[in-house]
């Protein structure tokens, strides 16, 4: 079974334009965005069997992705306000 990616633009479609703007204008947002994307890709590779990760390592990556997503969402909300 193919597991899907969780790109930020699909997670928060209402902020698609804001995501693009902040990636270009805000270095902190861009760094978090890149970390989120890399983490999501690593999780996807592990869940699809492309790379092997121990269960604990995969769970840690998922927690990192959630934390990054929360931080990015806060920045998106702040920018939109």
- For residue 48, what pLDDT is reported? 87
The secondary structure of the chain as a DSSP string is -PPPP--HHHH-GGGHHHHHHHHHH-HHHHHHHHHHHHHHHHHHHHHTTSS---HHHHHHHHHHHHHHHHHHHHHHHHHH-
- How far apart are the C-alpha atoms of 75 and 20, rounded to whole Å? 13
Q: What is the pLDDT of residue 49?
A: 85
Q: Hey, what are 75's tokens? A: 């920045």
Q: Specify the pLDDT at position 2.
A: 62
pLDDT, residue 20, reads: 95
Segments in the chain below pLDDT 70: 1-3
């Amino acid at each position: 079974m193919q597991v899907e990616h969780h790109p930020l633009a699909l997670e928060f479609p209402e902020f698609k334009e804001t995501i693009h703007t902040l990636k270009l204008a805000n270095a902190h947002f861009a760094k978090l965005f890149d970390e989120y994307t890399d983490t999501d890709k690593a999780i996807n590779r592990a869940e699809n069997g492309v790379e092997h990760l121990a269960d604990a390592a995969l769970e840690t990556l998922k927690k990192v992705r959630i934390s990054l997503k929360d931080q990015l969402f806060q920045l998106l909300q702040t920018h939109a306000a």
